[in-house]
Structure 1
Amino acid sequence: MISAKTDSISQRSRHTLVIRVRGRSRRRISIATLTCYKPGERARLIYRPRRDDGRRDGRKSFAWTDYRDQLITAHQQLGGPIVLIWDNLNVHLAAGMRQFIAERDWLTVYQLPSYAPDLNPVEGIWSLLRRGRLSNTAFTTPEHLIQTIRGGLRTIQYRPGVIDGCLAGAGLSLPSTTTRVQAQ
């Protein structure tokens, strides 16, 4: 009896289980995200997704010009100068980006050390998404993934206290002139 069980288990384990999935493994979705605050106003989250459709300049992720365009849009939306704290992504260090920064008096950039995710408030946003909306989900299409990420980021956008927490978690303190209405 014991040998029969052993034989049936060993026979089953000889077959490789094949699971078929749809989609292409080389597709990529990139999202550029800014956490922002301005004294006296609520913290804000500005983001821009980019899906690799295979038709655009051969790049799978953001080019420096995409980041430039996002910064110009953020400057217009925020209506003031921007102090940017950036990691060392190669596109952030591109010659074109450095020239763009040097030509803008409304833009000041500080580079983070080589590996310092704990100093980047956007990492807190991604952590919240990974533990929340993105956890335990099998995405059926790239559109499903984008829709879920946008929904999660939109939820965070309407919760400035969460963004404040990500800023504080990175060691950035909000000025005392910022006023918040506390729920009683």
Structure 2
Amino acid sequence: MVAFLRNRLWSVPGKVLVVWDGGPNHKGPVVRVFLRRNTRVHRERLPPDAPALNPVELVWSWLKYAQLSNFVPRDTDHLDDQILDRLIRLKCNPTLLRALWDGSELPFPEPPNE
């Protein structure tokens, strides 16, 4: 989590808004220390049990039920490889990505004016 946030701070000027669910990976001591030291990061927590406000939940559901429902990995590395492969394919499919987003209750973000 900290590596991801550090990368965002490096690549995005100004304030960085992070919208989080209640996952335990957002609450650990390393994350807390990082957030105290990096005041550019502003957090907004999703309400509990609100998957309709979290489009990534639809991505995980698509992975779990549409892509990997009958998949039996040899080990965790094999599972990681298959998940990454599917996520890369999803990244290259804007129609499906948009459809998953539209399954949430959030408006689709407009691209910034250049």
Q: Same fold (TM over 0.5)?
A: yes
Higher helix fraction (1 or 2)? 2
Asked if 1:148 corresponds to 2:76, the answer is: no
> 2:62 is matched by which residue type in structure 1?
L
Question: Partners of 2:91 and 2:10 in 1: how far apart?
Answer: 18
The residue aligned with 1:132 is 66
The residue aligned with 2:35 is 101
Q: Deviations over 1:134-172 (max 9, x none)?
A: 121222232221111111011112123433343443322
Question: Is the contact made by 1:75 and 1:82 (CA closer than 8 Å) also made in structure 2?
Answer: yes
- Which consecutive residues of structure 2, in runs of 5 or more, have no partner in the other structure? none
Higher strand fraction (1 or 2)? 1
Q: Which one has a bigger Cα radius of gyration?
A: 1
> 1:166 is matched by which residue type in structure 2?
L
Segment of structure 1 superposing worse, 115-124 or 158-167: 158-167
Question: Is the contact made by 1:133 and 1:148 (CA closer than 8 Å) also made in structure 2?
Answer: no
The residue aligned with 1:118 is 52
> 1:153 is matched by which residue type in structure 2?
L
* TM-score, normalised with respect to structure 1: 0.50
> 1:142 is matched by which residue type in structure 2?
T
* TM-score, normalised with respect to structure 2: 0.74
The residue aligned with 2:96 is 162
| Matches for 1:1-184 after TM superposition, within 5 Å | 67-77=1-11, 79-80=12-13, 81-177=15-111
Shift of 1:129: 0.9
Q: Deviations over 1:30-55 (max 9, x none)?
A: xxxxxxxxxxxxxxxxxxxxxxxxxx
3-state SS of the aligned residue for 1:83?
strand
Shift of 1:119: 1.8
> 1:173 is matched by which residue type in structure 2?
P
Question: Is the contact made by 1:121 and 1:167 (CA closer than 8 Å) also made in structure 2?
Answer: yes
3-state SS of the aligned residue for 1:88?
coil
> 1:128 is matched by which residue type in structure 2?
W
The residue aligned with 1:53 is none
Question: Partners of 1:84 and 1:142 in 2: how far apart?
Answer: 28
What is the aligned residue count? 112
Q: 1:91 to 1:131 in 2, by over 3 A?
A: closer
Question: Is the contact made by 2:2 and 2:30 (CA closer than 8 Å) also made in structure 1?
Answer: no
